[in-house]
Amino acid sequence: METSKAIEGLRVAVTGGTSGLGLALVRRLSDIGARVAFVARSADAVERVAADTGSIGVVGDVGDKDAIYPIALQITGNLGGIDVLINNASSLGPTPLALLADTECEELETALAVNLVGPFRLTKALYGALAASAREHRGSVVVNISSDAAVNAYPEWGAYGASKAALGHLTSIWHEESNALGIHFLSIDPGDMDTPLHALAVPDADASTLKHPDQSAMEVIAAITAALPQRTVALQGNRP
């Protein structure tokens, strides 16, 4: 089944949805018929993207423990459940990037809070709704956005790389534990993109050598589509 038909009507949540890959995902998913709720910290940016895309904006910080359940409730309340969760929001830790010996403990904690603990908490808060989606054969998928810094030891990327490496292993364990329920977990490295986060990390990077976020967004959507065989079969079976 083509991507647009597989995605149409899906209830999707995207964190970090007002810039970079997150914004590209919100736009693309909305364009092909998904029902999208996105999360970001800036109220002004959330309002602007919601108005531009027709999606549902949720103001919140996934790195804040106390914000997780209010975020989850707004997502499921507005969408009537959830089929796909994309944990995309990320923090570099120290900016400018720094050697581990020069990284403050609080900067490492920030990277872990946003890149690892936040996705864990939000997934846990939405787990029941994701399981319900799987039981209804809608195709339940959680995507955790990773990075090549999770597997390559780049100097000065310690806080970010360590948090993404832990997220990757967490994703694998979630998948093993949830496969029987029909919840599929994917860890996706979208590549080096021309985004505000990359510009913050590497200010002198040549943008012409970087991927456009739209390209990576379509690759992520294609991976989600490939993980939806149950929903595809169910939809085909329901056709007259």
pTM over 0.75: yes
Q: What is the pLDDT of residue 233?
A: 40
Choosing from 91, 140, 164, 187, which is the catalytic residue? 164
Strands (DSSP E) found in the chain? 11-15, 35-40, 56-59, 84-87, 140-145, 183-188
Q: What is the pLDDT of residue 4?
A: 76
User: How deeply is 218 buried, as exposed, middle or buried, from its count of CB atoms within 10 A (0-12, 13-18, 19+)?
Assistant: middle
Is 208 tagged catalytic? no
CA atoms of 45 and 54, how far apart (whole Å): 14
Q: Position 68: which residue type?
A: I
Choosing from 140, 160, 178, 216, which is the catalytic residue? 160
Q: What is the pLDDT of residue 229?
A: 67
Q: What is the pLDDT of residue 212?
A: 96
Domain 3-237: assigned CATH number: 3.40.50.720
pLDDT in tens, 20-37: 999 999 999 999 999 999
Block means of pLDDT (10 residues each) for the chain, length 240 residues? 82 98 98 97 98 98 98 98 98 97 98 98 98 94 98 97 98 97 97 94 93 97 88 40
Sorted by where each begins, the domain ranges of the chain are: 3-237
Q: What is the pLDDT of residue 237?
A: 38
Is 211 tagged catalytic? no
Is 154 tagged catalytic? no
Choosing from 146, 147, 163, 178, which is the catalytic residue? 146
Q: How many residues does the chain have?
A: 240
